[in-house]
Structure 1
Amino acid sequence: MTAATLTATAALLLTACGGDGDDSSPDDIKGAGESSSTPSASASASASGAADADRPDVSLPEDLKLVFDFERPSDTDQAAALEDAANYIRALNHGITEQDVKDPAYSFYSAAGASRYAESQIQEYVNGGWTLTGEDRYYQAETSPVGEGEKAKSILVTFCEDQSKAYGKEVKTGKVHRTEESLASYQRFNLLMAPQQDSPVWRAQQITVEGRATECRG
């Protein structure tokens, strides 16, 4: 994907979450915030020794739930890369809900193109006066090492997103704009994760996002 395509994904997210609707409060979400397996809902310690890192706050408002329905890989590095890929997504949403384009959370978990992508996403929401509410689900995660030798230099993490229960909310009025489930509700992420020297943290380096991902629906 080109840089222009990645930037355009911000508009795709707004499209998926926007539209006509009412200003009623979100429906109760059963099982929100739960996951069938790791990563956990909190950005706490993982098998990679994450407790040793001084990690930023990625907490979200009570009306926004991120569900990571991931299976932990048996490989320690791949498990750590998957955990921090989830933390990158948490950090991105933290920046959106905080309306902070320079939120340090996403900078902690990303660099290069992935950091620019997060900044552009947050900027789109800030410019539009939008935030998020509801439930955002991530699933069908896969990890694969990139590079040669016994110790891969990076790990490619891919997963699907279901936004059908996530909605745009006007920051000023609190009005929630609801939409019906459609192919536009589904995206597929590819994150290139790299380890940091003398740190348990894996950072997203590059990201591509496929909108209207048919393989993620159903």
Structure 2
Amino acid sequence: MNRRPTLLAALTLTAAAALTLSACGSDDSSKDKDNDKIAGAETGGKKSPSPTAAASDSGDRPKITFPSDAKNVFEDQKTGDAAKDAVLADSALSVNSVDEAIFEGNTDTKALGFYNTGKALESSITFAQQYIDGGDTWTGVTRYYDYKVTLSGADKAYVTYCSDESKSYVKDRKTGKVDRSPATADSYVLYNTTLTKNDQGVWQTTNIASNGGDKACQP
């Protein structure tokens, strides 16, 4: 039930090999978009601010909203290090921005290009467009956990984390029908990401690689 399939997995981290990250993966195997989401409500188009987005929005940062039947939960966001916490906050907003594009049915959202750039932005647009072209969205709750942050100077960082997508599901945008396929090992995904701090102080995701079914993320 892996809702972040081949598209993001196809990207590689150009500098990840230089760091002793706990694990890394680039899985280019085909994973159906149907095996993408985690359990939650099936109804509602009413939107409410994402908890993480609402807490981090300030100044000129775009507001990110989710429908009432979908939620991302981000664990391990407070490390005690202000610099690392800022990286994690924007990393979560990057994830939320991709999902918001799916919910909106539009990849021209302000947040998508605000929190993602370069290869990560290109792949995120293509990934969201797969949902849009297929007439799909998603419902439920996705959990992100086991974060590890490595700073490289003042303007670059590497973040690894896992996602639990066993309780989120693909939903037909028109009919509202939810595909509640059972969870598999691929419902647990390892991500390796690179973020760069721009002139506005935003940590933008520039590269991302994922590995569905990675042992490091299994329950």
Bin of the TM-score, shorter chain as denominator length: 0.7 to 0.9
Specify whether residues 42 and 13 from structure 1 end up closer, same or farther in structure 2 by C-alpha distance, changes over 3 A only.
Answer: farther
Name the structure 2 match of 1:59.
Answer: 65
Is 1:141 aligned with 2:147?
yes
Q: Deviations over 1:145-201 (max 9, x none)?
A: 12xxxx43301011100110000000111100001121110111112111111x231
Q: Check the 8 A contact 1:73/1:79 in 2, yes or no.
A: yes
Q: Where do 5+ consecutive residues of structure 2 fail to align?
A: 1-5, 12-25
> Shift of the alpha carbon at 1:9?
6.7
Name the structure 2 match of 1:217.
Answer: 218
- 1:175-214 alignment runs, 5 A limit: 175-197=177-199, 199-214=200-215
RMSD: 2.9
> Shift of the alpha carbon at 1:214?
2.0
Is 1:106 aligned with 2:108?
no
Specify whether residues 3 and 44 from structure 1 end up closer, same or farther in structure 2 by C-alpha distance, changes over 3 A only.
Answer: closer
3-state SS of 2:10 partner: helix
Specify whether residues 166 and 190 from structure 1 end up closer, same or farther in structure 2 by C-alpha distance, changes over 3 A only.
Answer: same
From 85, 89, 95, the counterpart of 2:91 = 85
3-state SS of 2:89 partner: helix
Q: Percent identity?
A: 30
> Shift of the alpha carbon at 1:71?
3.7
Specify whether residues 110 and 79 from structure 1 end up closer, same or farther in structure 2 by C-alpha distance, changes over 3 A only.
Answer: same
Aligned residues: 193
> Shift of the alpha carbon at 1:42?
3.2
TM-score by length of 2: 0.78
- Return the structure number with greater relative CO, CA threshold 8 A, min gap 6: 2
Name the structure 2 match of 1:157.
Answer: 159
Quote the Cα distance in structure 2 between the aligned partners of 1:9 and 1:97: 25
3-state SS of 1:12 partner: coil
> Shift of the alpha carbon at 1:4?
8.0
User: Which amino acid in the other structure matches residue 67 of structure 2?
Assistant: P
Name the structure 2 match of 1:5.
Answer: 10
Q: Check the 8 A contact 2:140/2:168 in 1, yes or no.
A: yes
Quote the Cα distance in structure 2 between the aligned partners of 1:4 and 1:137: 18
3-state SS of 2:52 partner: coil
3-state SS of 1:79 partner: helix
Q: Check the 8 A contact 2:7/2:126 in 1, yes or no.
A: no
- 1:113-132 alignment runs, 5 A limit: 113-132=119-138
TM-score by length of 1: 0.79
> Shift of the alpha carbon at 1:44?
4.2
Q: Check the 8 A contact 1:41/1:68 in 2, yes or no.
A: no
Name the structure 2 match of 1:21.
Answer: none
